[in-house]
Structure 1
């Protein structure tokens, strides 16, 4: 029976493709989590409200002028060119208070002691203690503003927890990438073991290192490309399943950034395939005959 002739650049690749696809999927999954976490953080920060209580007995015109003045401040969030300021009258505030506490203070006070107020949403960049204090001081200097309040402990707690989440996710991603690179190097090196004698034979007949290496590199890059495409497909399917089960996730989607991420995953697959194969082939190119055996 005729012996199958080995062709340079061919080696068992099923395990390499599986390992690289899984690795790229995990990297992509972490990146998608990071993207959604960033959008979620932005959503939380931009929907956090501070309250500016107004002096009593202000007329409607004065309140309207105040709203325009505050709305022009650079720290006020603008959505579709509209400043995010909501007027809450003292009557509305009284209704909210009674609904929450189940106590009607007007029965024993005989009057409504609450103030009209503005509920303000700020740009994300102002969501830290020092800048919030500056916003508070600036607003309280405006004629007609009685007092500005916000939950200081809550802001500190949110910022500290966000920092911890980013640190943990960054550390996990770096460790994962290191493990993946080591795993791929070892996997490809083992796969190329069956080709070591063929590589040596080509060297003996005068083939250059570049000529020997080229088919391996092309195959490695092709495997990286295929693994990247499969990983991207798995991620997209996973995203669609997540959105179908939790429709609220759709508001955190950033199509442009997700498209860039998917392209980066494919590119990373090609790069890992190229570098891992290059390193493994070069190792066999430098071995002596005794070391090959």
Structure 2
């Protein structure tokens, strides 16, 4: 019976492809969570409102001038050039208060003591307690503003929790990356075990290390590329299923960062395939004849 002729660089690759695809999928999933979390954090920060209560009995002319003055401030969030400032009249505020408390204060007070107010959304960069204090002081100095209020200490608590979440995710991703590199090194080294005698034979006939290594590296890079593409396809398919079942996730997508992430996954797969193969081949190139057996 004729024996199959071994070709340099031809070694079992099914397990390598599976392991690397799974590893890249997990890394991509962590990256996807990071992107979604960043988008969610931005959404929370840009929907946080500061309330500027106005002086009573402001004339329409003064009210319009006040709006223009506030809209020109650098901390005001603008969406498509439109300042995110909403006027809430004292009647609307009274309805909201009654709906929340189930108590109609107008019955025993005989009047509505509330003020008209502007509910103002700020740029993300001002989502800090110190900067909010500056915004509050600046707004209260504007003629026509009675008082400015926001939920104090809430911002610092949110920022602390966000920092903790990012730290945990970063540590998890780093540990996962180390485990993946070690796993791939061992997997590729075991896969190359069947090629160790062929490598030694090529050395004995005078082949240079570069000539021997080249086909292995080419195969490792190709496996990394293929594993990266498969991982990207699985991530996109999973994301589409998630959006289909939970449409709200669609608002958290960031196309540019997604493209960078997907390209990074493919690039990382090629890099891991190259480095792991290079290390494994060099190990066998340096073994003595006794160590090969």
In structure 2, distance between residues paired with 1:205 and 1:251 = 62
Does the residue aligned with 1:267 lie in a helix, a strand or coil?
A: helix
Corresponding position of 2:34: 34
In structure 2, distance between residues paired with 1:94 and 1:77 = 26
Corresponding position of 2:100: 100
> What is the CA-CA distance between 1:153 and the residue it aligns to?
2.6
Corresponding position of 2:154: 154
In structure 2, distance between residues paired with 1:271 and 1:3 = 35
Residue 13 of structure 2 is aligned to residue 48 of structure 1? no
In structure 2, distance between residues paired with 1:236 and 1:96 = 42
Corresponding position of 2:113: 113
Residue 273 of structure 2 is aligned to residue 269 of structure 1? no
In structure 1, distance between residues paired with 2:291 and 2:10 = 22
Corresponding position of 1:279: 279
In structure 2, distance between residues paired with 1:285 and 1:98 = 81
| Aligned positions, number | 293
Output aligned runs, 1:153-192, within 5 Å: 153-192=153-192
Does the residue aligned with 2:52 lie in a helix, a strand or coil?
A: strand
Residue 58 of structure 2 is aligned to residue 73 of structure 1? no
> What is the CA-CA distance between 1:5 and the residue it aligns to?
1.1
> For the Cα contact (< 8 Å) 2:129–2:153, is it kept in 1?
no
1:30-55 CA-to-partner distances (Å, cap 9, x unmatched) read 00000000000000000010101111
Output aligned runs, 1:206-245, within 5 Å: 206-245=206-245
In structure 2, distance between residues paired with 1:108 and 1:236 = 59
Residue 89 of structure 2 is aligned to residue 86 of structure 1? no
Question: Structure 1: which 5+ residue stretches go unaligned?
Answer: none
In structure 2, distance between residues paired with 1:61 and 1:98 = 30
In structure 1, distance between residues paired with 2:157 and 2:63 = 33
Q: Normalising by structure 1, report the TM-score.
A: 0.99
1:68-122 CA-to-partner distances (Å, cap 9, x unmatched) read 1001100000001000000111111111111111111111111111111100000
Corresponding position of 1:251: 251
Question: Structure 2: which 5+ residue stretches go unaligned?
Answer: none
Does the residue aligned with 1:152 lie in a helix, a strand or coil?
A: coil
In structure 1, distance between residues paired with 2:269 and 2:221 = 8
In structure 2, distance between residues paired with 1:216 and 1:140 = 70
Q: Normalising by structure 2, report the TM-score.
A: 0.99
